[in-house]
Each structure stands twice: as C-alpha cells, then as structure tokens.
C-alpha cells in the first residue's frame, strides 16, 4: 500500500520493473507547488516532472527504467528500481520525445549545441556496469547547417595547423559540417573547399574577431 493512500494519486501503472516476476505499482502523488512524488510501491521520491514513461534501455538485463520528464524546464531524470530502492541514473536534456531507446543499452538524446547558434545533435549515453547512464563523448558532432557567407572568412587548415587555407568569400554558399561543441567548426563551400574556424564566447569567430551572425546568414538565434 502507498504511504500516501489518503492522497489522490495519478498515472499509475502496474509493471515488473526489476524482473523478479513481481509486479510493482508506479504512480504520482501531488506534493506542493510544482513538485510531485514519483512512487514505486511504498517508496517515493520528490520530483518536478509532469509525466513519466517506462522504457527498456537494455533488453539483455532484467530492469526497465522510468523516464520522469519535466516539459517546462526541458529535462528528464532516469530512474530504476532494484527491488528495494528507486535509484537515479542520469539527468538528460529534453523530454521523452527527444530520446531514442532501442534496447541496445544506449539512449540517444537530441540535444541543443552549446556554441555558434541553435543547432541540435544526437548525444549518446551508455549504461555502465553500475546501471548508471554515462555520456559518450565524441570528437565531432554533425551540424550540417547551410549558410551564406556575408563577410570574408579565412579558414584554418586544421585544428592543429592555424595557417590559412581556403578563404570563404561574401555571397558564396557553405555548409557548417560539424563541431566539437566546444570551440571548433568545420565548414565546406560549394567548391568542396574545407577549413576550420574557431569560436569563443558562444558566437565570436576568432579567425577575424567578428560575431558569427555578422559572418554568416542562415544561423538560427537561440533563446
Ligand atoms: Ca518486480
Ligand atoms: Ca532491461
């Protein structure tokens, strides 16, 4: 029985979360303000989510996981139940519809980039041996943003070689192919010439000390 059996509880589901053949009851209880308790049987933890889903991140283990989503602040917390405790696994950006779960042990989360403009990439998280989700860091993430060059931009040959290679000219079309999401972007013009530009302070292009929104047309303003 719930310790809050006198309270109104919502969104309940009966499901075996830890593979022991015994069904657990999952439900919400309203707390105060925006807070709720998310509960499994008689164990509850405070949350700020408005809905939850149950997924199977790794089909080869006995657990199913709970995604508690907060659509206002656009994050989700992932939990599992070990038969005794509700255990937090990770907090991911976005809500359920931003996630892809295919049972392989990896969650893919559509994630907004940290530099240049409002672009999105897929960030992957892997289940580790402690049944926690850890991010998989990648060297470069695809961006594929089409832009028009409005200010001449000399490009560095590589991230290790800051001599100038290709030069982008005003009026030409280009595609920002990828970024490390920290400071580097790889761009290619329509002639197939490639090079790198370096970003600091979100959108300042270090190569010419000019804001990217004055260098390119077609970037998307973030919030
Ligand atoms: Ca169970
Ligand atoms: Ca599983």
Residue 120's contacts (CB-CB under 8 Å, 6 or more residues apart) are 110, 111, 112, 113
Q: Is the pLDDT of residue 135 over 90?
A: yes
Quote the strand ranges of 128-171, DSSP E. Answer: 133-136, 141-149, 153-156, 164-168
The verdict on 90 and 163 lying in the same domain is no
Please, what is the average pLDDT of the chain?
93
Summarize the confidence of residues 25-53 as an average pLDDT.
86
The verdict on 145 and 77 lying in the same domain is no
Q: Does residue 151 form part of some domain? A: yes
Q: Which of 99, 116, 132 corresponds to the end of one domain?
A: 99
Cα 36 to averaged position of ligand 1 atoms, centre (Å) = 23
Cα 219 to averaged position of ligand 1 atoms, centre (Å) = 49
- Report residue 57 as tokens: 């991140």
Q: Is the pLDDT of residue 5 over 60?
A: no
Task: Round to whole Å and give the CA distance between 138 and 32.
Answer: 40
What pTM does this model have?
A: 0.84
- Report residue 208 as tokens: 């010419």
Q: Which domain holds residue 74?
A: 9-99
Cα 19 to averaged position of ligand 2 atoms, centre (Å) = 8
Instruction: Indicate the number of domains in the chain.
Output: 2
Cα 18 to averaged position of ligand 2 atoms, centre (Å) = 8
Helix, strand, coil percentages (3-state) for the chain, rounded to 5, are: 5, 55, 45
Q: Does residue 40 form part of some domain? A: yes
Q: Looking at per-residue confidence, does 2 or 117 come out higher? A: 117
Q: Which of 99, 130, 150 corresponds to the end of one domain?
A: 99
Q: Looking at per-residue confidence, does 60 or 50 come out higher? A: 60
Q: Which of 99, 116, 151 corresponds to the end of one domain?
A: 99
Q: Does residue 115 form part of some domain? A: no
The verdict on 16 and 93 lying in the same domain is yes
Confidence (pLDDT) at 34: 74
pLDDT, tens digit (0-9, with 9 covering 90-100), for 149-193: 999 999 999 999 999 999 999 999 999 999 999 999 999 999 999
pLDDT, tens digit (0-9, with 9 covering 90-100), for 70-95: 988 899 999 999 999 999 999 999 99
Confidence (pLDDT) at 33: 74
Q: Does residue 62 form part of some domain? A: yes
Confidence (pLDDT) at 36: 84
Cα 62 to averaged position of ligand 2 atoms, centre (Å) = 5
Ligand 1 (ion): which residues have CB within 5 A?
Answer: 16, 18, 20, 22
Q: Does residue 203 form part of some domain? A: yes
Confidence (pLDDT) at 184: 98
How many distinct helices (H) and strands (E) make up the chain? 1, 21
Which ligand is the nearest neighbour of the Cα of 55?
A: 2
The verdict on 95 and 14 lying in the same domain is yes
pLDDT band, residue 48 (cuts 50/70/90): confident
The verdict on 94 and 157 lying in the same domain is no
């Amino acid at each position: 029985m719930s310790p809050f059996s006198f309270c109104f509880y919502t969104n309940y589901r009966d499901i075996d979360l830890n593979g022991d053949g015994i069904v657990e009851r999952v439900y919400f209880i309203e707390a105060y303000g925006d807070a709720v308790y998310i509960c499994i049987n008689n164990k509850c933890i405070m949350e700020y989510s408005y809905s939850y889903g149950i997924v199977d991140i790794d089909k080869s283990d006995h657990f199913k996981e709970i995604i508690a989503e907060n659509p206002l602040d656009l994050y989700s917390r992932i939990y599992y139940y070990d038969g005794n405790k509700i255990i937090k696994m990770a907090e991911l950006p976005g809500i359920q519809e931003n996630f892809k779960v295919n049972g392989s042990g990896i969650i893919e989360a559509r994630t907004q980039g940290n530099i240049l403009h409002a672009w999105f990439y897929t960030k992957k998280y892997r289940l580790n041996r402690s049944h926690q989700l850890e991010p998989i860091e990648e060297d470069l993430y695809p961006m594929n943003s089409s832009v028009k060059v409005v200010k001449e931009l000399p490009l560095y040959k590589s991230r290790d070689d800051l001599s100038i290679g290709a030069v982008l000219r005003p009026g030409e079309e280009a595609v920002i192919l990828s970024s490390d999401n920290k400071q580097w972007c790889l761009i290619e013009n329509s002639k197939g010439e490639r090079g790198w530009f370096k970003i600091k302070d979100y959108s300042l292009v270090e190569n010419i000390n000019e804001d990217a929104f004055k260098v390119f047309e077609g970037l998307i303003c973030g919030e």
